A = this chain, B = another copy of it.
């Protein structure tokens, strides 16, 4: 009896949204695997799939995974379930690419599959361009110089915590804005950073929008928006 060679689980970082910001390696592996899996939101949207839709092949099997997108105690069973589904394919020797917006290990959902499957199956992570870096590029603002301290914050954090963090960094990015936008903007005003702060929605995608931060309508801020507070440019630095 021959033993079946196990399949490899690939976590592929797709980058921030522009399909061309996928890496050469991600592209090669994506096209080589028989199975492509990705998160599916409750309303059926598959944002990560839409980024690389043009690269997928009709003969590839697709698995849309309905992860819980909100904080809830019930999230573990769903991750267990989908890890189980992927495990069956891997055990049968099929390679799987899991699509990950941005970078697989920088926030996101891939980690929950990785933590469940990597002890049993060969796993490879293909890093990707983070929306952190892409947003600074689209805003045409250098983010960090020399020995700057750089901090990434979630807009979901309480105002007090955001305030403290922003007071002790040279440059920062605030992600996960959406309904948290107004709180974050008020914090930036309070700590005197509002004049340096820049705002971009859906950076690098065909729906990218750059709006002066004081003109943003807090009621219309998508989740995939970012505030960038670049390091202060000082000619003495170079």
A18 CB within 8 Å of chain B: yes
A223 CB within 8 Å of chain B: no
Interface residue stretch chosen among A56-64, A105-113, A210-218? A105-113
A25 CB within 8 Å of chain B: yes
A163 CB within 8 Å of chain B: no
A32 CB within 8 Å of chain B: no
Instruction: State in angstroms the CA–CA spacing of A46 and B66 once bound together.
Output: 46
* CB-defined contacts of A18 to chain B, threshold 8 Å: 25
Instruction: Encode A71-97 as 1/0 by CB contact (under 8 A) with B.
Output: 100011001000000000000000000
Interface residues of A in 181-233 (CB under 8 A from B): 204, 233
* CB-defined contacts of A25 to chain B, threshold 8 Å: 18, 20-21
Interface class of chain A by DSSP:
mixed
* CB-defined contacts of A125 to chain B, threshold 8 Å: 137-138, 140
Q: Is the CB of B106 within 8 A of A143?
A: yes
* CB-defined contacts of A134 to chain B, threshold 8 Å: 127
* CB-defined contacts of A235 to chain B, threshold 8 Å: 76
Cross-chain contact of A106 among B13, B136, B151 (Cβ < 8 A): B136
* CB-defined contacts of A238 to chain B, threshold 8 Å: 75-76, 79, 111-112
Instruction: Encode A16-33 as 1/0 by CB contact (under 8 A) with B.
Output: 101111111101100000
Instruction: State in angstroms the CA–CA spacing of A165 and B161 once bound together.
Output: 14
- Can you report 22 residue pairs joining A to B where beta carbons are below 8 Å apart? A13-B137, A16-B127, A21-B23, A22-B23, A22-B24, A75-B238, A103-B129, A106-B143, A107-B145, A111-B142, A111-B145, A128-B129, A130-B133, A147-B154, A147-B157, A149-B153, A149-B161, A150-B151, A150-B152, A151-B151, A151-B169, A165-B168
